[in-house]
Amino acid sequence: MQLKDKVAFVTGSASGIGKEIALLYAKEGARVVIADLNKEAADATAAEISASGAQAIGVGVDVTSEEQVDAAVEAAAKAFGSIDILVSNAGIQIVHPVEEFTFAEWKKMLAIHLDGAFLTTKACLKHMYAQGRGGSVIYMGSVHSKEASVMKAPYVTAKHGLIGLCKTVAKEGAKHGVRANVICPGFVRTPLVEKQIPEQARNLGMSEEDVVKKVMLKDSVDGEFTTTDDVARVALLFAAFPTNALTGQSMVVSHGWFMQ
Ligand code: NAD
């Protein structure tokens, strides 16, 4: 029970990577807030966790809305008494070459990935600082926090930006015992990626099988997808680590696609 009595606020946790993190945190003793745009799916995930004997609540929130984020974090703190861990994970993907991106699509991507990270951080830090027992802020970056791929300009830009936010939060949070780190997964077969496979096949004029083999997994050491479980284990390490020794870092989990 590495997270006994901790409270974790996990965005985008009604699906994919965030859901796996929420399930693992609950198994490790945390009380978990499933914060997602999809309220129905958030409630279903919270119910799944509650059925296993752990504690969770579902909260409907759009991470791009300051009002909604503040209300969701307040509701979570009220329900569980504190906020010890933030996982800023909610995200989407839109793929086009730069010249075909609309300004609205660009702004939407930056709003979800960067504004969402800022707003949830600001709202959760307030509680972590006031509680006086530290905390852990975890950002869901990507290999695209370190590396670029064609057709992903706003995603690559936003994911690189999270590293800057993380390093700043690590420096400011240190005196409060608040650590900040980024997880940088390679391709994980979640709904976000399932949607991209046919889109990329169309854009690149390839078969879907070739998109997986020759684009997504081409540079991994073994041609394997990273799994939600792989990412959740790293999220547990960052959440449970007890000191400021591990802060301001970004860890790549990608079957060797990107080596630093
Ligand atoms: P997913 O589509 O399975 O889950 C994303 C969740 O975020 C969904 O439940 C969705 O409802 C929620 N969401 C979307 N917009 C939101 C908003 N405005 N406010 C609140 N919630 C919102 O995707 P996933 O693959 O699990 O992705 C999770 C995170 O991991 C994203 O930040 C993504 O960029 C990152 N990531 C994914 C991969 C991958 O290969 N799947 C790789 C690296 C990083």
- The predicted-structure confidence for 47-90, as pLDDT tens digits, reads as follows 999 999 999 999 999 999 999 999 999 999 999 999 999 999 99
Round to whole Å and give the CA distance between 236 and 131. Answer: 21
Beta strands in the chain (DSSP E): 7-11, 31-36, 56-60, 85-88, 135-140, 178-185, 249-253
State how far the alpha carbon of 68 is from the alpha carbons of 71, 75, 104, in Å. 5, 10, 21
Angle at CA 235, nearest 5°, toward 106 and 186?
50
CATH of 7-188+227-253, one of 1.20.1340.10, 1.10.10.1100, 3.40.50.720, 3.50.50.60: 3.40.50.720
pLDDT score of 77: 97
The answer to whether residue 204 scores a pLDDT higher than 90 is: no
Among 10, 13, 15, which residue has the most ligand 1 atoms within 8 Å of its CB, making it the best to mutate? Answer: 15
Q: Ligand 1 mean position to 191 CA, how many Å?
A: 8
Domains of the chain, by residue range, sit at 7-188+227-253, 189-225
Mean pLDDT over the full length of the chain: 97
**Diameter over CA atoms, the chain:** 55
The answer to whether residue 161 scores a pLDDT higher than 90 is: yes
Strand order across the 135-140 sheet:
56-60, 31-36, 7-11, 85-88, 135-140, 178-185, 249-253
Q: Residue 169, CB half-sphere, CA atoms under 13 Å: how many?
A: 33
Residue pair 73/227 in contact (Cβ under 8 Å)? The answer is no
Question: What letter would DSSP give residue 7?
Answer: E
The answer to whether residue 260 scores a pLDDT higher than 90 is: no
Our answer on whether the CB atom of 60 is closer than 6 Å to any ligand 1 atom is: no
Q: What's the sign of the alpha-carbon dihedral 41, 43, 44, 45?
A: positive
Confidence band, pLDDT 50/70/90 cuts, at residue 185: very high
Q: Which atom of ligand 1 approaches the CA of 42 most closely?
A: 9
What average pLDDT does this structure show over 228-244?
A: 97
What average pLDDT does this structure show over 172-196?
A: 96
Say which residue the tokens 């990412």 belong to: 231
